[in-house]
A = this chain, B = another copy of it.
């Protein structure tokens, strides 16, 4: 249950924590106290009297819920504020390929308005015999490129034992779709205070992803973003996945975490990445994360879905223009007379 504490009764927040905190999960945000496993009949008359409102049966993923935490979470890094009224471009190569290459891509990313440089140093590959990433060397190159252009680093962590090491290089952890319910990994990044971009699993429901995010929040890390990157459906002959644009406003209603769209993994083919990116902007996402490459045919991974620099710059121009269109206030709102 969630108890909304009346003004003037704030002392009750502490008391509830003391009384229930040793046996139950108790979370506090402003004047809201979430008590896991407690129902109204467990409360004393005084406790009940301190409540402005009681919300029974909130979602299990209570810390991520708008019922517990009304206002938008803003994820803050050195160069970015993500969520709320902000719109954030994140771009970079699928894999870090070399110090030179990622430096070049950082320049392109920056030119398109990105404040975050993405790049994989540890790659979750379907086959054990495929290129698995440059490892810590890749992280070094990525960090250097980001620093050269005043960008944040976003990179995937696949293995809970790498969390500390990767933390030395990155500004944002990415949890990939395949690891969305790798609960040990979620707990590991939940113990850090580094922002986490959690990608939706291929067949994860909305509730699944909110519960996965809750594993991170349960560790005390609330700097979380959720990324829609396409789901697996019967329809994958021409696109790699089906971008579930509807998930963006649904998530925005249910949770306060920023919602990002990844059109690259959804589309899977360069020619469809830009339209899907723009759909993501128009549906209201707080940002885009896109893969770029200057020579896709020779990319170490996922070249088929990379935007070339000029394609990326044109996409970014249109994305910012649409975002601007959406958020421009209208002088005279239409009025309907019937």
Contacts and interface: CB of A to CB of B under 8 A. Distances in A.
A129 B36 contact: yes
B250 A246 contact: no
Given A126-B208, A294-B338, A235 B231 contact: yes
A333 B318 CA distance: 12
A210 to B, nearest CB: 10
A314 interface: yes
A244 B279 CA distance: 11
A43 interface: no
Contact of A233 (B25, B218, B233, B281): B233
Interface string A24-64: 01000000000011000000000000000000000011000
A331 to B, nearest CB: 12
A210 B262 CA distance: 27
Contacts of A7: none
Interface in A227-281: 231-239, 242-250, 253-254, 266-267, 271-272, 275-276, 278-281
Nearest to A25: B129
Contacts of A309: 336, 338
A148 interface: no
A313 B334 contact: yes
Given A160-B159, A181-B178, A279 B245 contact: yes
Interface residues of A, number: 89
Contacts of A321: 325
B322 A334 contact: no
- Chain B CB count within 10 A is highest, among A184, A215, A276, A309, for A184
Interface string A122-136: 001111111000000
A203 interface: yes
Interface in A9-32: 25
Interface of A: 25, 36-37, 60-61, 104, 107-108, 111, 124-130, 158-161, 178-179, 181-185, 187, 201-203, 205-208, 211, 214-215, 218, 231-239, 242-250, 253-254, 266-267, 271-272, 275-276, 278-284, 294, 309-310, 313-314, 317-318, 321-322, 325-326, 330, 333-336, 338
28 contacts: A25-B129, A36-B129, A111-B336, A127-B214, A128-B215, A128-B218, A158-B184, A161-B161, A179-B181, A182-B182, A182-B185, A203-B232, A206-B235, A206-B237, A207-B237, A233-B242, A235-B244, A238-B254, A239-B246, A239-B250, A242-B244, A243-B246, A246-B275, A248-B275, A310-B336, A313-B334, A313-B336, A317-B334
